[in-house]
Amino acid sequence: MKFQHGIERLIFGARWLLAPLYVGLIIVLLILAYKFVYDLVFLVIHVVEQQFASNSHAGDSMFIIDLLSLLDLVLISNLILIVLFAGYENFVSKIEVAEKSVDRPAWMGSVDFSGLKIKLIGSLVAISVISLLASFIELSLNPDQEVGPALFWQIIIHLTFVVSGVMFAVMDWISDSRALRAKALHDGGANVVGDGI
């Protein structure tokens, strides 16, 4: 019995091995924040230079591409934050500091593993759309350029993300429906037993 208790404590404590990984994600967020500021400064300089350029159409398209790259960084940062919060709370420990905070996100503490998968795939689809849109804009800037296999694979990857997202949602819906049916049958059976008494 003591041996079993010791093994269970060891297994339960193993969740703390994930904590350094989540700290690593905080470092990745800092790197992304630095990259965002760097790209933002570059974008401002680019806009100022374009005020004096002759080809405004190309400048507008390049501005949109640069802006999409900033949006891409923000979405990736959101994705990391979702994994950080939901992953830590689901697998390591409750974030007690945030329990009574007015700034606590509404979804925090309520996103289970299934909800986390849906949020992740939704973020991946959004990131993929932005990347695809940037590629289409670059292609419109160079109409003579041949559509290469890279764009084809981008479209395939995007469609894969979309189909995966739909499949995850359908599987969750089926799982939730079964759980609700089982609960209704259980509650109905309990009522029948209660009425019989």
Contacts of 138 (CB under 8 A, 6+ apart): 65
**16-22, Cβ contacts within 8 angstroms, sequence gap of 24 or more:** 16/92, 18/87, 18/88, 18/91, 18/92, 19/88, 19/92, 22/84, 22/87, 22/88, 22/92
156-193: per-residue pLDDT in tens? 888 998 898 888 888 878 877 877 777 777 776 555 44
The phi, psi pair for 135, rounded to 5°, reads: -65, -40
Q: At what angle do helices 56-91 and 19-50 cross, to 10 degrees?
A: 170
Burial class (CB in 10 A: 0-12, 13-18, 19+), 148: exposed
The CA-based angle 159-123-46, given to 5 degrees, is 95
pLDDT of res. 77: 92
pLDDT of res. 192: 47
* Residue 88 and residue 95 in contact, taking contact as beta carbons nearer than 8 Å: yes
95-117: per-residue pLDDT in tens? 777 777 777 777 676 666 777 77
pTM, two decimal places: 0.70
